[in-house]
Structure 1
Amino acid sequence: MAITQKEQGDYYGAQETSLQASTYLDESNPEHRIYLSSNYNNLASATDFLKDYKNAISFYNSAIMFSNDTILTHIYKNNIAIAYQNIGQYDKALDILYELNIQTTNKKSMEYARVLSNFARFKWHKNKDYNPIAEFIAALKIREYEKDLWGQNASFSHLADYYITQKKDSALFYAERMYEVAERLQSPTDRLKALHKLIELSPENSAKAYFRIYQQLSDSVQLARAAAKNQFALIRYEVEKNKADNLLLQKDNAEKTYKLTRQRVITGGVTILFVVFTVTGTFYYKKRKQRLELEAENQIKANKLETSKKVHDVVANGLYRVMKEIEYKQVIDREYTLDKLEEMYNKSRDISYESEEGVKTDQPYYERLNQLLKSFSNDGREIFIIGNEAELWKSIGEQSKEHIRQVVQELMVNMDKHSQAENVVIRFEKKGDHLSINYSDDGIGIKKDTPHGNGLTNTVSRIKSLSGKIIFVDEMVKGLKIKITIPFL
């Protein structure tokens, strides 16, 4: 399930399921090593896609620790090198590839081509004056000889990236080759990457055509990923239901055993009353403890079952209805479909919030808030956080802090969906007996008199429930600026 979720683009779900799978595997059992290695690699890959490279490196190292396959071990080490390159630690990445180059005896293999191509790419990223073309072409020839389409796709991507600033016509040529290979691979993700390069490099008329293809493919991928996130909801519901039924049967059997044993002890006779009293008291205590623990566990399972049922009934069924409407309508109303999908999104988020309300965590609030904000950063966007320190939140109650976290999350989701911002700044300050939150970005902004969507409407409602105020500054030339003040509650 975790591997399927990762391949379908549900990276958070893949992480969760991989971690759950690890509880079924025994690190001391030699027969489990192959599964442990595969599971850690899947967990690392999903974490890598989410750009959490440091944790991805840790998971890749765990995969290597349990690996018995030399080829797979080399692949995991290559992935670690790429992760180091992504966080700018080029020397560590190059050291790993240098070691792999020595260990690779067949200089015409796909493994050698991968090491050679990445080695040249990392040296170029470290030193922009370095020319990697000879190594790129050598790796490409090996991959073409071996009919390694995935490797060819990577080579064309690297060549296009290098020539973007050198010779745009060459960059366009390799971007077109990358798109052809991606179509043969039937890989939507690689097709989107190739189309992104073609839009940037092609003449205006061709770029428009590529953009239309990109938009259609992107919409299709997003819809498929949304469906993938809920494809296991029914399975989980059935599993949890069976577990809950089994727990009820165990509880019933335990109670029947307890009653039968007590009756037998009572009929034992007065002559051994003291011994019977001692044994019965001890037995009663243990059975009662067992029954209470069983009831507590059953309550936990029932809560999980209720949440799984809500996901199935509200989200999965809702998405299925939208998919069927799209399937049977000849003319698709885009706005109507987007409204339906946003409704499903809000319902799923509400279910998640209900589940989170009962979860306790030892992690400090300011760290959780910092992680939430940083999760919206990517290669094209920087998030700057000012004033989010532990001392600031000591005067604010837990319920208010949760509302504030939801307000901040609504702002970031709205930014991610609509603003096209490259830089976002959030400042937290204590002013007298009020908390001040100042948000600004360099995106497209909000036009005056534009009605708020559900996200901003919910934000305004939450702030009012905290007796706070929100102001949208509309005199900015570009971007959006929001000022929020909330009294310390």
Structure 2
Amino acid sequence: MKNYFLLLICMILLSCKKENKKNFDESIAAKLYNKAKVFRNSNVSDSAFIYYNLAKNAYLERKDSLGVGKSLVNMAILQHNKQDYYGSIETSLEANNFLRKIDDSTTRSTLASSFNNMGICSSYLYEFENSILFYNQALKYVNIPSNKYLYYNNLGDVLITLGKYPEAQKNLSIALQTKDSLKYATFINNMARAKYYENPNYNPLPEFYKALKIRQDNNDLQGQNSSYATLSIYFFDKDKIKALDYAKKMLEVAVKNNSKEDQLQALQKIINLDKENYLENFKKFQALNDSIQIARSKAKNQFAVVRYDVEKIQREKAEKEIEGLQKNFGIGILLIILIGGLFLYRKRKKRLEQEKELEVKNTQLKMSKKVHDVVANGIYQVMTKIENQEHFNKDEALDELEFVYEKSRDISYEKTDNQGEEKDFSEKISETVSSFKNDEVNTYLAGNDSGTWKHLSTKNKEEVYQIIRELLVNMKKHSKATIVSFRFERENDLIRIFYTDNGIGISGDVIYKNGLSSTVSRIETINGEIIFDTKIEKGLKITISFPAS
């Protein structure tokens, strides 16, 4: 954050005069809000966030709930754009508390926008059920047709992710009433996806190509990225050459659009499709992933520091007004008391500022260490195997890359490997199983609660976690399954894991050659037993049992 921004803010705040205070406060609040809009429209998000926060404080002084709510919603959207999803939801919730106090057209529209933002953030955090709830709340308050169509589309998109295709099509059919050509391209693309996933015999390509052409005609780079991603996924199992071509186009547009997230997604697809240039693309992925994780961490700290600095300036302004009031009263004893109190306050404030600065620095150092230890060391280990082993299996490298990517995503959400609490271990299992869910594979969990894992040692928890992850990797590599389920059961001092998928299955004589030998070894380590049911007509069924200690 630049010092001249803070200097400008100080000049604005400290130049206030008390004549005609009500009208002046209204004028300064509106000027701050409009200044924030200018910065936001110019993509200067740091300055926009500062001025929205200043406007919020000015509206608070005027007791203008709508002004406060609008400022907070815009701050939440800026946080969402910087991938600070938890912080964005928190700011939206704060905005909702002010917006619910009044009921008029503008307030309802702003409240709808706030709920839509919370729905989007929840989707990025894989909290899809919460996302559906927030989108439904947005539709309850929306009173602008163009926004209504957008919210129906967003709801439909989440329903596609959850595999609820008929319900998704119902919402998307409403969204398709839009008159906006770019939004129509998005909506028709999603509708085609829903129809294709429901019926694999349906041909979605005419809609996919139509959406892409609209986006190309309008030079919509972000929309083109979405189309290329959709087409690459569609051709992945049908035509590897076309799939790779669309992935490369996605990367090219993402670079032009300076969208690092889209570049990362494109590189993931290219790594899986372009075996000849695997190592080169792998190094690009490594460097880009490191920069994204560090940028996310800085963004979270930055927004926290901005709010702290602006509120500090507001306190200093209040102190100036108190000093002026003291002079007007001219009461010596009161003046001495206030000066003494002000001295203690400033001393305490200075201590708090130093603690806050130290906290931010420690957070940055901690995050840098995490990125180095978890991401850099993990990727270096894979690269060493590739370079030093003549017959190294590239599929194994892809598996290890996926594990490293999961670890880097955990860093961005500030999670740790230490699962000391049962609730954290349950969440870790849930997130791992959910991470293997995509447009082609649905995963289901049952019985994954804190009671199941109670008193299980930390060492055995880690072995159980690795077992579950190995089953999922094996499923992804070999089974061609579309439905995968885990059910956990605890009876007295025995825990059972029931794994089922609807893939091609494996015969008894190839089980130990199919990537599961490590799983069997882990189960033996925790004094457990594993049973493979190879007699079922289709798919794979595994039962694992071990002591609950």
TMscore range, shorter length: 0.5 to 0.7
Task: Report the AA paired with residue 221 of structure 1.
Answer: I
Contact 2:271 2:281 in 1 (8 A): yes
| The one of 154, 160, 170 aligned to 1:95 | 170
2:396 alignment partner in structure 1: none
Partner of 2:243: 171
Say if 2:460 and 2:526, in contact at 8 Å, map to a contact too.
Answer: no
2:446 and 2:259 map into 1 onto residues whose CA distance is 37
Structure 2 CA distance, aligned partners of 1:228 and 1:406?
36
What fraction of aligned residue pairs are identical, expressed as a percent?
29
Task: Decide which of 33, 49, 55 is 2:130's aligned counterpart.
Answer: 55
Counterpart residue type for residue 207 of structure 1: Y
Q: Which whole-Å CA distance do the structure 2 matches of 1:413 and 1:238 have between them? A: 46
CA change 1:110–1:237 in 2 (3 A) is: closer
Give the SS at the match of 1:429.
strand
Contact persistence 1:60–1:80 (CA under 8 A): yes
Counterpart amino acid of residue 146 in structure 1: N
Deviations 1:315-353 (A, max 9, x none): x31243468999xx9xxx955999xx99x97xx879x99
Equivalent residue number for residue 321 of structure 2:
none
Corresponding position of 2:267: 195
Tell whether 2:90 aligns with 1:19.
Answer: no
Provide closer, same or farther for how the CA distance between residues 117 and 385 of structure 1 changes in structure 2, counting only shifts above 3 A: closer
Q: Please state whether the residue corresponding to 1:130 is helix, strand or coil.
A: coil
1:72-83 alignment, distance < 5 Å: 72-83=147-158
Structure 1 or 2, whichever has the larger Rg, is 1
SS of 1:219's equivalent in the other structure is helix
Mapped partners of 2:134, 2:148: distance in 1: 13
Q: Tell me how many residue pairs correspond in the alignment.
A: 368
Separation in 1 of the partners of 2:419 and 2:529? 35
CA displacement 1:187-242 (0-9 Å, x = unmatched): 1111111111111222x232322121112111221222233333344456679999
In 2, the alpha carbon distance for the partners of 1:226 and 1:406 equals: 32
Structure 1 residue 378 and structure 2 residue 434: aligned? Answer: yes
| 8 Å contact from structure 2 (residues 76, 91) kept in 1 | yes
Q: C-alpha separation between the residues in 2 aligned to 1:191 and 1:309? A: 39
Residue in 1 aligned with 2:283?
212
Aligned partner of 2:77 in structure 1 is 3
User: Structure 2: how far apart are the matches of 1:416 and 1:236?
Assistant: 44
Deviations 1:358-403 (A, max 9, x none): xxxxxxx99x9866642443241657554859xx68xxxxxx96xx
SS of the residue aligned with 1:82?
helix
Distance 1:420 1:439, change over 3 A: closer
Residue 225 of structure 2 is aligned with which of 131, 153, 170? 153
Structure 2 residues without counterparts, runs of 5 or longer: 1-74, 317-347, 381-406, 438-442, 476-484, 500-514, 531-543
Q: For the residues of structure 1 that align with 2:459 and 2:127, how far apart are their CA atoms?
A: 21
Q: Structure 1 residues 179, 57: CA separation in 2 closer, same or farther (over 3 Å shift)?
A: same
Q: Give the residue type in structure 2 aligned to 1:22.
A: N
Which residue matches 1:273? none
- The secondary structure found in structure 2 opposite 1:166 is coil
**2:109 equivalent among 16, 34, 39:** 34
> Are 2:467 and 2:519, in contact at CA under 8 Å, matched by a contact in 1?
no
Instruction: Pick one of 355, 361, 364 that aligns with 1:317.
Output: 361
Q: Which residue of 2 aligns with 1:223?
A: 294
Unaligned runs of 5+ in 1: 246-301, 357-364, 394-399, 450-469
Distance 1:56 1:169 in 2: 36
Q: Which amino acid aligns with 1:209?
A: E
Contact kept, 8 Å, 1:116 with 1:135, in 2: the verdict is yes
CA contact (8 A) 2:456 2:548 kept: no
Distance 2:200 2:210 in 1: 20
State the 1:95 CA deviation: 1.9
Distance 1:65 1:446 in 2: 49
The AA in structure 2 aligned to 1:429 is R
Q: Deviation per CA, 1:141-181, whole angstroms, max 9, x where unpaired?
A: 11111111121111111221222222221222111111111
- Of 174, 198, 211, the residue aligned with 1:126 is 198
Given that residues 84 and 90 in structure 1 are in contact (C-alpha distance below 8 angstroms), is that contact kept between their aligned partners in structure 2? Answer: yes
- Secondary structure of the 1:377 match is helix
Aligned counterparts of 1:159 and 1:61: Cα–Cα separation in 2: 29
CA distance 1:244–1:407, shift in 2 (3 Å): farther
Aligned partners of 2:356 and 2:494: how far apart in 1? 36
Structure-1 residue corresponding to 2:384: none
1:290 corresponds in structure 2 to none
Matches within 5 A, 1:238-249: none
**Residues 214 and 69 of structure 1: is their aligned pair in 2 closer, same or farther, counting only changes over 3 Å?**
same
Q: What's the CA shift for 1:55?
A: 2.0
Residues 221/446 of structure 1: CA separation in 2 closer, same or farther (3 Å cut): farther
AA paired with 1:127?
N
- Give the residue type in structure 1 aligned to 2:266: A
Partners of 1:127 and 1:49 in 2: CA distance: 26
Show the counterpart of 2:209: 137
Give the Cα–Cα distance (whole angstroms) in 2 for the partners of residues 410 and 239 of structure 1. Answer: 45
CA–CA separation in structure 2 for the residues paired with 1:416 and 1:405: 15
1:419-443 residue CA offsets vs partner (Å, 9 max, x unmatched): 7954796845343xxx455789988
